[in-house]
Amino acid sequence: MRRRGLLLAAALAAIAVLGFLSDRVHGEVDLTAGHSLSLSRQTKDVLGQVQREVKVTAFLLRGDPSRAQAASLLARYRRRNHWIAYRVLDPTDTPGEAARLDIDPTEGGVALSSRGQVERAPTVTESDLTAGIARLLRHHPATLCIAGGHGEPSVEDGAGPGLSTLAGLLVTNGYRLQPLDLLVRPAVPPGCDGLVLVNPTAPLGPAQSAIADYLAGGGRALVLNDPASTVDLSPLVQLYGMTVVHGLVLEGDDGARLPDDPLSPVVHDFTSSSPVVRHLAPVVLPTCEAVLTASDPGRGLSVAPLASTSRLSFLSRRPRDTGTRFDPAVDVRGPINVGGAADLVANLGGHVRRTRVVALGDSDFATNALVGEGGNARLLVQALDWLTLQEDLVSVSTNIPALRPLSLTEARTRYLRYVTAGVVPALFLLAGGTVWAVRRSR
């Protein structure tokens, strides 16, 4: 009897040990098309650094087709590191929680929090989650240097044309801001994780070389041009496969502009795969100009067009002369590309140097008067997130699973219900009845 008890205890202990070992040493096979649920090496590296609780709260509508995939992805993060805790909430059920975490319930998104610090991301994708966790882990906030000294709007200006709202937004998103007076000291300090250059109205002079040198050394810059300025910023961005084409974009599509205002396109065509414009609400870009992107930018450089106006728009090259009329001799027919994102990777003997530039053909959208409109604020934050992230994080491949639409009409839904919940159960009952009848007849 005692021997049996010992054998039983030994067998159960062996099973427990095997269970423990299988949890410690395990492999996985991702059977999804495109391996959309396999975590990348970068994600695994970042998760390996997490040694305190990180709470991930994803806000996705219950009917959102990506909800199940998001939950699976979050489960994989948790499986990898149990410091990651997650919840998937419907923002319409939990508006208070969404408000507390500063998530727009109509847009959804994901909030990552740890020790009182909160980071936000627009989508529950590997790139966004990993980047958010990396930002939480960063020991110091990224420093954004705000260029000044050449007539740029100020981050301290609370009036309509100022940038104080944007400054507050960036601080909320974990950035430290450092204003630079490039007129007094034309140099970008090495501590700048990113440079923000917004519509200088006076020639940059030596500051232009300083910015070019900063970028050449692996710098990151957000360059906002504006048709109102006479300063040509093309020389700064041309090295990175982008050209600012001066003029004024006029939007002819009523559905793609502010009411009766052809000078204020509302851009919603974000066909780019760049994370800068991922899941963006329409962006209002009043009085903007074009930014062309090179189709064959050269070795190590990739350039993505970010957004374009409608087919009914055009770029007026001489708006003072032609007004709102299209001049086929000089004007450019839409769609007009109004932004670009460039990524230059240089391998310097084992060390990778990465330069990133985002150029947009408008600056008004970033001002206090307009930054709260549509997706304007999010465009700026996403652009800066993409610009300033460390290179080992931003290369995380996106793992958005392909959508697989189901052609389900009312009639087909009824048919599905009829077959699955009607015919099949009936067959079981019929089989059972037949067996019963046969047994009874014997």
Partner 1 sequence: MTRAVVGKELRVLWASPVPYVVGALLQLVLGLLYVDQLAARRQALFQPAVPIAGFLLLALTPLVCMRAVAEEARSGTLELLLAVPVAGRPLVVGKWLAAWITVLVVLAPVVLFVLLLEWFGNPDLGPVLSGLVGLALLAGALAALGVLASSLTSTQPVAAMTAFFVSLLLWFAHVRAEALSVGGVMDRLSISERLRGFAGGVVDTSDVAFFVLLAAAALTLAAAAVDGRRLR
**Residues at the site binding partner 1, with contacts judged by CB under 8 A:** 1, 4, 8, 11-12, 15-16, 18-19, 22-23, 26-33, 36-38, 62-63, 65, 68-69, 71-73, 75-76, 79, 82, 85, 401-408, 412-413, 416-417, 419-422, 424-426, 428-429, 431-433, 435-436, 439
Please give the C-alpha separations between residue 180 and each of 146, 197, 263, in angstroms, as whole numbers: 6, 10, 32
Please state the closest distance from residue 116 (CB atom) to partner 1, in A.
18
Q: Is 267 left (phi over 0), alpha (psi -120 to 50) or beta?
A: beta
Nearest CB to partner 1, comparing residues 351 and 428: 428
Q: Of the candidates 266, 245, 367, 259, which has an alpha carbon nearest to the alpha carbon of residue 309?
A: 266
Q: Among residues 299 and 440, whose Cβ is nearest to partner 1?
A: 440
CB atoms within 10 A of CB 21: 10
Beta carbon of residue 104, minimum distance to partner 1 (angstroms, whole number): 23
Least CB distance from residue 282 to partner 1, whole Å?
Answer: 24
Give the whole-angstrom CA distance, residue 223 versus residue 240: 12
Q: How many CA atoms lie within 13 A of 87 on its CB side?
A: 13
Residues forming a β-bridge with 58? 88, 110
Nearer to partner 1, 325 or 414 (CB): 414
d(CA 206, CA 422): 79
Instruction: Specify the DSSP class assigned to residue 269.
Output: B
Q: Min. distance of Cβ 438 from partner 1 in angstroms? A: 10
Shortest CB 399 distance to partner 1, Å: 11
β pairing state of 301-308 and 337-348: antiparallel
By beta-carbon proximity to partner 1, the closer residue of 71 and 258 is 71
State which residue, 18 or 159, has the beta carbon closest to partner 1. 18
What is the rounded CA–CA span in Å between residue 321 and residue 8?
94
Q: Which residue has the tokens 């408000």?
A: 99
Asked if 375 and 172 touch (Cβ cutoff 8 Å), the reply is no
Closer CB to partner 1, residue 75 or residue 137?
A: 75
Task: Decide if 308 contacts 336 (C-beta within 8 A).
Answer: yes
Minimum distance of partner 1 from residue 132's CB (angstroms) = 20
Closest distance of CB 185 from partner 1, Å: 51
Residue 85 vs 239, nearer CB to partner 1? 85
How far, rounded to the nearest angstrom, does the alpha carbon of residue 431 sit from its chain's CA centroid? 55
Minimum CB separation from partner 1 for residue 402, in Å?
Answer: 8
User: What's the closest the beta carbon of residue 405 comes to partner 1, in angstroms?
Assistant: 6
Rounded CA separation 141/146 (Å)? 15
What distance in Å separates the CA atoms of residue 392 and residue 379, rounded to the nearest whole number? 22
Which residues contact residue 253 at a Cβ distance below 8 angstroms, ignoring those fewer than 6 apart?
Answer: 310, 311, 312, 313
By beta-carbon proximity to partner 1, the closer residue of 4 and 140 is 4
Nearest to 264 by CA among 254, 253, 277, 250: 250
Q: How far is CA 325 from the centre of its chain?
A: 37
CB of 51 to partner 1, least distance (A): 14
Pick 158 or 433: Cβ nearer partner 1? 433
Pick the closer one to partner 1 by CB: 37 or 177: 37
Q: Is 293 helix (H, G, I), strand (E, B) or coil?
A: strand
Which is nearest to 210 in space by CA: 177, 245, 181, 232?
Answer: 181
